[in-house]
Structure 1
Amino acid sequence: MTSSTTFTNKLRALAGASALSAATLGLTGAAEARDFRLLSGWDSSYVAVDVLTSFIETLDEAVTEGFGVNVMGPETVPPFEQFDPVSRGLFDLLFTNGAYHFNQTSVGMALDGLSGDTEALREAGIWDAVDADYQEQGLKLIAVLYDLNGYHIMLNEPVGENGLEGRRVRGTPIYHPAINVLGGSPVVLPGGEIYPALERGVIDGAAWPTIGALSYRWFEVADYMMRPTFGQVGHLVLMNLDTWNDLSEETRAEIETAAREFEIEANGLFDTLVAEESAALEAEGMSVTELSEELAGTLSSAWFSGVMDLAATQSGEAIEEIRRLATEADLDG
């Protein structure tokens, strides 16, 4: 058993007797008033779901009436189609990444281009700005569970003096500025096609968060992990706005207090997951390949600008304000 598996099991133990299956996760508190229905953009193979499980347990303990949640994954509604049914009240909660609903609003995706934890975002006014935008879409921002370790690129060969020049690298549009500035050519593929594409040589690398490669066994078809990492991964917990407004003032206050505290705890949980997964990947034969200092600096600035520019094509006015707040607070990479 790998160390990453050990830590994942510890997180899952927080859920008590309940366990996430391919279909449903039921978490119930002894004093709960109702069960909330949550759509998750990921199934149990993505370990961020275990951080969500811990968060739900925290809410269940913090809310006087209890906070029971029934979690349904992408087998219920595909990840890129989950925003609308939650905003319309068919489900109560959504666990997602902002890039998954770019066509509705891009403010959530913009969070991945910043450099700072949620307390820094709150102090800068960015958290409230993002919340206000989501409320216009019928949703309430409950928490941003940040993996501050961000993203990396897995490769079949080490980086060269010219970075990724001449290589085909899988990446959804948010990754394209990072891939392009390193000289690579972006290839858009669903996550489920990464393994066979690497195996057949259709692509030379793949961009992904710094957790996930182990469970998908990409170490079998990629030998290197590019460093440094870039950006940070925002896992958003959103609630249907009508559901939120129907809660008592006391319950809303309890949720907000517990969520703010857990946001910081989540940083540590992700740090441990990433460290243990990286060690496990190295044990499976993957090696770290380092960008030059010059290329690393170029990547950092290109990531922030690229994410914001892309986000501005969808939610221009809101992104302009987020960019201004981030620059003033030195959270722009």
Structure 2
Amino acid sequence: MIKYSLLKTAAAAALLGLSATAAQAEDVIRAVTFTPAQVSFAQNFQGFVDLVNERGAGIVQIQVIGGPETVPTERMGEAQKNGIVDMFLLPAGLYLNVVPEGEAFAGSNLDPMELRAAGGIDLVNEAFAAKGNAKVLAHVDGGGSFFLWTNQKPGIDEAGQLDLTGIRLRSSPLFRAFLEELGATSVVQNASDVYTSLERGVVQGTAYPVTGVRDFGWDKFLKYRINPGFFQTDVLISMNLDSWNALSDEAKEIVNQAAIDHEKSSYDANVAENESESKILADGGIENIELTGDQRKLFLETAYDIAWKRLQERDPTMHDALKAVFFKDL
């Protein structure tokens, strides 16, 4: 795999007699996304790219070089750590093996702006820098949760909890333990493989945000959506730390402010998109199963407890500090 890095040059400065400042070319940041270009997460990221490229003309530019076809999703965390590419649109849950503290994003019940104001981004960046050689710039596409989507109607156990026994669900490292706690058989695979798995009956459903279900074409096979949503979407814009440090101060300011602005605008857009997509899916025949009362509370407590317990087991060093900032008691 080709190793990309930030490209900086003072092309022809000596020949032209220009000052180093005047002759310095734009910083070029090469980026990849965890979903293919047609999926809403990648499309939303393009809005951030456009914002940086507009504000950073002559100073800093972002080039999106591809998605999982460029760097396999399961290798993106290591690729970021090793500087294979400069910038990633990548959920924290897809590289918890590298930075287990990324669990805090899914385990949070604060929106991204509340989290930033509380110092959450600064705090978690201590772990991302030390373990992932990375810097988190923004928690984007907030305002959404993961939902269970199935083509079989789930049951309820004696304790009143949702019972997924006998149902095979596509999973990811982020929510595998939660699905297994509910009795499901977990099949870990990339989102790009789910369509074929649903088509062939390898799985009977998946867990995923509302946005993305139609993009991947899964609505053709799914019949039920279980509410409420659990966890929080944990999509991050992050950079290899060495690439970040190599940027000029002016470029850093442009990229950082664009990330903060996009964090808020993507949240607002995602809330609206979740509402519209939910209606389209319901109108298309997907039935909503609504957990209420004690059943709802038990479902959410189970999800959040698993997220924080998993961090505690993997590395308890920052568990208490992160939970105090990232989570408000239900």
Which amino acid is 2:257 matched to?
Answer: T
Matching of residues 160-309 of structure 1 within 5 Å: 160-162=155-157, 163-168=162-167, 169-309=169-309
- Following superposition, the deviation at residue 325 of structure 1 comes to 2.7
Tell me the amino acid that sits aligned with residue 304 of structure 2: F
Partner of 2:44: 51
- Distance (Å, rounded) in 2 between the aligned partners of 1:32 and 1:164: 58
Equivalent in 123, 133, 146 of residue 129 of structure 1: 123
Asked if 1:108 is matched to 2:107, the reply is no
Amino acid at match of 1:153: L
What TM-score does the superposition give when structure 1 sets the normalisation length? Answer: 0.81
Displacement of 1:235 after TM fit?
1.2
CA distance in 1, matches of 2:53, 2:189: 38
Larger Rg: 2
Contact 1:105–1:315 (8 Å) recurs in 2: no
Instruction: Describe the shift of the 1:184–1:296 C-alpha distance in structure 2 as closer, same or farther (beyond 3 A).
Output: farther
Is residue 310 of structure 2 the alignment partner of residue 316 of structure 1?
no
Equivalence for 2:138: 143
Instruction: Report the secondary structure of 1:237's partner residue.
Output: strand
Following the alignment from structure 1 to structure 2, what is the Cα–Cα distance between the partners of residues 84 and 200? 32
Contact 2:101 2:127 in 1 (8 A): yes
* Structure 2 unaligned residues grouped into runs of 5+: 1-23
In structure 2, the partner of 1:24 is: none
- Once residues 160 and 84 of structure 1 are traced to their aligned partners in structure 2, the CA distance between those partners, rounded to angstroms, is 39
Does the CA-based 8 Å contact 1:167-1:204 persist in structure 2?
no
Aligned partners of 1:310 and 1:160: how far apart in 2?
26
Unmatched segments (≥5 aa) in structure 1:
1-30
CA 1:191 to 1:281, structure 2 compared with 1: closer, same or farther past 3 Å?
A: same
Instruction: Give the count of matched residue pairs.
Output: 300
**Quick one: which amino acid aligns to residue 87 of structure 1?**
K
Identity of aligned residues (%): 23
CA RMSD in angstroms, aligned pairs only: 2.4
SS in 2 for 1:90: coil
Counterpart Cα distance in 2 of 1:158 and 1:93:
41
Pairwise CA distance, 1:32? 7.5
**CA shift at 1:268, angstroms?**
1.1
Residue 164 of structure 1, CA deviation? 2.7
Say which is worse superposed, 61-70 or 222-231, in terms of deviation: 61-70
d(CA) in 2 for partners of 1:74, 1:193: 12
Aligned residues of 1:181 and 1:299 also touching (Cα < 8 A): no
| Local SS of the residue matching 2:38 | coil
CA distance in 1, matches of 2:47, 2:124: 24
Q: Displacement of 1:269 after TM fit?
A: 1.4
Measure the CA separation in 1 of the matches of 2:25 and 2:141: 27
Q: C-alpha separation between the residues in 2 aligned to 1:165 and 1:84?
A: 33
Distance 2:43 2:300 in 1: 29
Amino acid at match of 1:139: A
Q: What TM-score, normalized by structure 2, do the two folds share? A: 0.82
- Report if the CA contact (8 A) 2:148-2:208 is conserved: yes
Amino acid of the residue matched to residue 137 of structure 2?
I
**1:93 pairs with one of 87, 103, 108:** 87
Letter in 1 for 2:326: A
Residue 107 of structure 1 aligns to a residue in which SS?
Answer: helix
- Deviation string 1:291-324 (CA, Å, 9 cap, x unpaired) is 2322211121121111122233333313332123
Residue 223 of structure 1, CA deviation: 0.9
One-letter code of the match for 2:95? Answer: H
Structure 2: distance between partners of 1:114 and 1:49: 23
Q: Which residue identity does 1:124 align to in structure 2?
A: A
* Alpha-carbon shift at residue 177 of structure 1 (Å): 4.3
CA distance in 2, matches of 1:302, 1:182: 9
Which secondary structure does the structure 2 equivalent of 1:51 belong to?
Answer: helix
Find the aligned partners of 2:30 and 2:89 in 1 and give their Cα distance: 11
Where 2:37 maps in the other structure, the secondary structure is coil
